[in-house]
Amino acid sequence: MEGITKEHIADWFTGLQDTICRSLEQLDGKAIFHEDQWMRPEGGGGRSRVIKNGNLIEKGGVNFSAVSGPTPTKILHALKLPEAEFFATGVSIVLHPENPWVPIIHMNVRYFEMSNGIWWFGGGIDLTPHFVIKEKAKNFHQHLKTTCDKHSPDFYPKFKNWADDYFFVKHREETRGVGGIFFDRLTDNEGRPKDDQWKFVQDVGETFIPAYSDAVKQLRDRDWTDADKVWQKIRRGRYVEFNLVHDKGTKFGLDTNGRTESILMSLPPEAKWEYEHQPETDLQKETLELLKKGIDWVNA
């Protein structure tokens, strides 16, 4: 597609939000999304959709935004950009399950451009199990590798390593989960035209539902104990720590005066912190041992 525009990109993202929300309602089988439409005083707005108290999803969000206006000074300095107007659009998803055996999943696909001609794509998908099950991690990464390989054999190893580095809770010395892929500032400076970069981002967005459906299969109906729920809440606490301390998307949203409720929809409904908590079962211990960079999940 020649001459791709920001309006076309934003329109496709709204369609992606619609498709994913319909699919998640069918997968959950009970809960439906509640939508809030909002406007940003400086320019643009979005549609925030939240689902809760379902058969599968305890709390989740699928958000679309398209915001614009003068680029805040904090963003200019952080990204080392010249002063100009900006436009940013994308879809962001976080799902927190009711069942502790089902993993948390996150996806973001986004586009950024400035009035001076600067543009790029970014995004990624990652999985955060409360209990790491190797076969599930392998299947999840295979979905992502298949998508990446359609575009370049270099994409999966590059973006997988990027995710390992990005989704790392530095103060805990552990990865947020089993990772996935992460990429940012994809532009035409690597010899790939804008249309090619855009097609890759679209394919990543369309990978979400099959990858998540596979991740929850055979786990959503598994019985759990009170001790499993405690462990889930402790692992959710680590998720909160990453999102509030390290996540650049959270910082970007707050620094651009985004809608706070939409930005913080990624946080779980309940979390738990216990002083010097230690794992109590072999699976809990193994989970912590597997929260590290560099694991070749596809060949595990």
* Nearest one of 6, 172, 188 to 89, comparing CA atoms: 6
Please report which helix (H) or strand (E) contains residue 169, including its range.
strand 168-169
d(CA 46, CA 14): 9
What is the Cα 48 distance to its own chain's centre?
15
Listed in order, strand segments (DSSP E) in 25-147 are 34-39, 44-52, 57-70, 85-97, 104-114, 119-128
Cβ neighbors of 28 (< 8 A, separation 6 or more) are: 51, 54, 55, 56, 57
At 280 the three-state DSSP class reads coil
What is the Cα 283 distance to its own chain's centre?
25
| Alpha-carbon distances of 206 from 109, 132, 261, rounded to whole Å | 10, 24, 26
Cβ proximity of 29 and 11 under 8 Å: no
Cβ neighbors of 176 (< 8 A, separation 6 or more) are: 126, 128, 167, 168, 169, 238, 239, 242, 291
- Please report which residue ranges of the chain form alpha helices under DSSP H: 6-28, 73-79, 134-149, 155-166, 194-216, 226-245, 248-255, 260-263, 282-289
Strands 119-128 vs 179-186: parallel, antiparallel or unpaired? antiparallel
Kindly list the catalytic residues. Answer: 106
Cβ neighbors of 137 (< 8 A, separation 6 or more) are: 127, 129, 178, 290, 295, 297, 300
